[in-house]
Amino acid sequence: MNAALELHGLQHRYDEHAVLHGIDLRLMPGDFAALIGPNGSGKTTLLHCLAGLLRPSAGRVSIGGHDLAREPLAARRALGFAVDPARLPPLLSGRECLRLFAGARGLDAIPEPTLALCATLALAPMLDRRIGQYSLGTRQKLAIALGLLGEPPLLVLDEPLNGLDPLSAYALKRHLQHLARERAVAVLLATHSLDVAERFITRAALLVDGRLRRQWDGHELDAIRADPARSLEQSMVQALAGDPDAGSAARRDGDC
Amino acid sequence: MPPLFHPWLREARLAALRGGGWKRGRGLAAALGLAAAIGLGLRAAGGEAAALPAALPRLLAQLPLPFVLLALALSYASARARLAELDERLRCGWWAAAPIEAARTTRTLMLLATLGAAAALSVAALLLAAFGGDGERSRTAFFVLAAGLVPGTALGLVAALRQRRRPVQRLREGAREPLFGLRWLDDARLPHLSDWQRREALLRWRRGGHAWMIGAVLMGLPGSTALEAGAGVLLIATALAWFSLLAQACAVASVAAGRALAATPLARRGLRRAAWRYPAFAFACACVLAGVGAALLGVGWRAAPVLLGAAALLCLPAWTALRGGRRA
């Protein structure tokens, strides 16, 4: 089976300032992974590199078996990426935006699951209003709906819960979990909400100064969940403090 | 048959129907309409004034090279800036996540460049028709403008497409420390505003800024111009181009500073007072430069009102930016 996402030695630098130092990461279909790390650790840069918004300085990004540099179109067809909500066109309505995006994905109309998701996120009543009238949270919901449109096999979301009300945030988490479990969609989300990461995800990776410092697989996360005295937050703090045991998992090659 | 163009065209159509495009282009449209109306009005007035509009096509026909170069520089700068900005918006904006071939984006940019050149030629033809005059001269004047507009737009398109291949530079600002300290320009409550303005102006100047103004003036100089007079023209053109660019940069930096400090108890008057220091100093420097140029050219004080008028005209975009910033 093809990996949903493979990163090999991914590096990125802004001028002389290196932000990512050889990231290796592999996500299989059905993985629900969180990318965690302190501010400025390179999470957004990493997501932008694999979404094709930034060109990596070195290394390879492969999405659904398609090299992003050599087969950009096939790779992008397999990718759903929630764009920055501030960049949505203010003069268009949410429905027009979704319709245009559906057309770009080769669909005749807005797919039913996307409309259902809009209803779940309480976005449906706003769809015919101009985006310029949306609140930050509503824009975020629309950006997520656009990213999920057409259910691509890999979803990449950068802080998707920012600005969402608790009900919508919960609905989104359940929806992503459902997509990963039932539809074998691989989900990679960058988040600071460790409680979310701990309760919903199946894998986690800690990015520090552009390097993957620590990775947790499903068994480790299950063990953390089963022990009330432990938490992902605590484990992350230990990894950040340079706990030698904490780093052991990161030295494993490839899969997280 | 797969679609040829980027679906952004549909987005642009929807936005235009809601007034999005008109708001941005209304200043230019108003200026062109006014120029045509003045031409028609003068012709209708009769007498000596009726001959004035026809002087423009005659001038274009008599001095083809400078006007070809001016049209080329203007159309190149405009096409490059607009197409590169759109290309980046399509690659990094909300369309970034859509699976769209790069070729469709390229074809869309080519279509827009073609439409832009056609629109510019149509406007030129309409203006020349409004200005009237000898038919043969008007035709020659049109060809002079077309000889600059078409290759300028094509070169702008090529430059915008070349820009795509270069990675976006985000961190390198490139503005170094000034040659001499300008701390005395700093307001006590806003000690970094003048440096912000200086850096913004320096970056714009390095990116090519208003170099086309200097180029166009130099190209327009007859070959027989004396060295001193040529140097004088160069100094005046540099002073005007530099100061107009600096005024725009200062306006942008001041508006940005105003927004950044909107939640602080700093009075608007205080910000305004601090924002005037650097441009006022730059104006004095530009006056010295232009004064030396005028002395070399031998025009004396009589040229001052003309130069000040030209500077005020070139600084209009800065006023617009300031007013837009206040309204936002």
Q: pLDDT class for B175, splitting at 50, 70, 90?
A: low
Residues B199 and B314 occupy one common structural domain = yes
Alpha carbon distance B64, B53 (integer Å)? 18
Asked if A87 reaches chain B (Cβ–Cβ under 8 Å), the answer is yes
Sequence-distant (≥ 6) Cβ neighbours of residue A24 within 8 angstroms = A7, A8, A9, A10, A212, A253, A254
Residues B123 and B204 occupy one common structural domain = no
* Overall average pLDDT of the A68-79 stretch: 92
| Highest mean pLDDT, choosing among A77-91, A237-251, B191-205, B297-311 | A77-91
B132 vs A172, more confident: A172
The domain in which residue B90 lies consists of 8-165
Domain count, chain B: 2
Chain B environment of A147 (Cβ under 8 Å): 97
Residues B218 and B318 occupy one common structural domain = yes
Any domain includes B237: yes
Contact across the interface for B98 and A15, Cβ inside 8 Å: no
Instruction: Measure in Å the smallest separation between the Cα of A27 and chain B Cα atoms.
Output: 19
Any domain includes B89: yes
Residues B157 and B227 occupy one common structural domain = no
Q: Where are the domains of chain A?
A: 1-78+154-161+188-256
* Overall average pLDDT of the B3-13 stretch: 91
Contact across the interface for B92 and A53, Cβ inside 8 Å: yes
Residues B145 and B216 occupy one common structural domain = no
Alpha carbon distance B255, A101 (integer Å)? 35
CB A132 within 8 A of CB A90: yes
Residues B88 and B219 occupy one common structural domain = no
Q: pLDDT class for A81, splitting at 50, 70, 90?
A: very high
Of chain B, the percentage scoring pLDDT greater than 90 comes to 27
**CB-closest option in B15, B97, B168 to A92:** B15
Amino acid A59: pLDDT: 94
Residue in the structure block whose two tokens are 């500077």: B311
Amino acid B167: pLDDT: 53
Instruction: Quote the crossing angle between the two packed helices B8-17 and B20-45, to the nearest 10°.
Output: 60
* Overall average pLDDT of the B140-169 stretch: 87
Chain A environment of B7 (Cβ under 8 Å): 100, 103-104
Residues B61 and B146 occupy one common structural domain = yes
Contact across the interface for A147 and B97, Cβ inside 8 Å: yes
Contact across the interface for B171 and A87, Cβ inside 8 Å: no
Alpha carbon distance A97, A139 (integer Å)? 11
ipTM greater than 0.90? no
Residues B101 and B213 occupy one common structural domain = no
Q: Which two tokens stand for residue B219?
A: 């190209």
Amino acid B212: pLDDT: 73
For the stretch A19-30, pLDDT in tens is 999 999 999 999
- Domain A1-78+154-161+188-256, CATH 3.40.50.1000 — does that match? no
Residues B188 and B320 occupy one common structural domain = yes
For the stretch B19-62, pLDDT in tens is 776 666 777 788 888 888 888 888 888 777 777 888 888 888 88
Alpha carbon distance A76, A50 (integer Å)? 10
CA angle A46–A50–A56, rounded 5-degree value: 70
CA atoms within 13 A on the CB side of A62: 17
Residue in the structure block whose two tokens are 């299950």: A222
Q: pLDDT class for B325, splitting at 50, 70, 90?
A: low
Any domain includes B178: no
Residues B34 and B99 occupy one common structural domain = yes
Alpha carbon distance A106, B104 (integer Å)? 14
Residues B95 and B23 occupy one common structural domain = yes
Any domain includes B104: yes
Which segments of A183-217 does DSSP mark as H helices, in order?
Answer: 194-200
Please tell me the least confidently modeled range out of A233-247, B160-174, B295-309.
B160-174
Instruction: Measure in Å the smallest separation between the Cα of B217 and chain A Cα atoms.
Output: 36
Residues B161 and B222 occupy one common structural domain = no
CB B185 within 8 A of CB B282: no
Amino acid A235: pLDDT: 82
Residue in the structure block whose two tokens are 């600071």: A192
